[in-house]
Amino acid sequence: MIAIDGPAGAGKSTVARQVAERLGYMYVDTGAMYRAMALAMLRARVPLEDPAAVERCAAEVPFEVDVSSGITRVFLQGEDVTGQIRTPEVSRIVSAVAAVPGVRRRLVKLQRRLAERGGIVMDGRDIGTVVLPGADVKIFLTASLEERARRRWREWWQAGRTDDMEDVRRSLEERDRLDSARDESPLRVAPDAVVIDTTGESIERVVARILRICRGRLDRCSTE
């Protein structure tokens, strides 16, 4: 089991997906699950200032995830909403929704069930600390705020969005604050995680470094 954590824009999803492909492992994007829950709140018009209402919605909404295709597809009430969870509206509230204990309990249970079969690369913000504390390899990806803002702005620009760079930077800064300050499963580095700063690094170099770490772990296991 390989856990890859880090803040928004650090490159987790891209790196984790490529590591999984190179190893022939299953890839799980837990952020997509929380975004789907945030979309469910928007659709049901649940007041986020009422945690009990958020928990009820999270417990009751029919929710499924499919990781068989190499990407994490999420379904609400049987509808594939994978293409609808990256909107600015979802991005603005996902950290608040993810901070609600009942939401995390439901999704962490599902994430652990997906990991039971092994051969998995899972990324998120609390994988190495909460979801899979016994993961064989733990990676924490980070990058400067400016670098992460540039990446996110470029990603959105390619998707046809015209967000101002400064607005993107402020949005990421606020997400960092919310993710790190929440009481339930805050974003933090696991004591046994390898921290990799991706600022100025290519995806290929980061993936290659993680693969070396994974192979080193496999070699150690084979001699124990």
Is the confidence at residue 144, as pLDDT, over 90? Answer: yes
> What's the confidence (pLDDT) of residue 221?
59
What distance in Å separates the CA atoms of residue 65 and residue 76, rounded to the nearest whole number?
9
Whether the Cβ atoms of residue 71 and residue 29 lie closer than 8 Å to each other: yes
Can you identify the CATH homologous superfamily of domain 2-212?
P-loop containing nucleotide triphosphate hydrolases (3.40.50.300)
Measure CA of the first residue to CA of the last residue in the chain; give whole Å. 18
Q: What confidence tens digit (pLDDT) does each residue in 153-184 have? A: 887 787 777 778 888 899 899 888 888 988 88
Is the confidence at residue 51, as pLDDT, over 60? Answer: yes
Please give the angle made by the CA atoms of 120, 137 and 98, to the nearest 5 degrees. 65
pLDDT above 90 covers a percentage of the chain that reads 71
> What's the confidence (pLDDT) of residue 223?
56
Residues in Cβ contact with 176 at an 8 Å cutoff, skipping those fewer than 6 apart: 7, 8, 145, 187
Spans of all domains in the chain = 2-212
Looking up tokens 């696991």, which residue turns up? 190
Average pLDDT, rounded, for the chain: 91
Q: Could you tell me the two tokens for 64?
A: 């499924």
Looking up tokens 């949005």, which residue turns up? 171
Q: What confidence tens digit (pLDDT) does each residue in 55-101 have? A: 999 999 999 999 988 889 999 999 999 999 988 889 889 989 999 99
Q: What confidence tens digit (pLDDT) does each residue in 122-132 have? A: 999 999 999 99
What distance in Å separates the CA atoms of residue 46 and residue 74, rounded to the nearest whole number?
20
What distance in Å separates the CA atoms of residue 152 and residue 145, rounded to the nearest whole number?
10
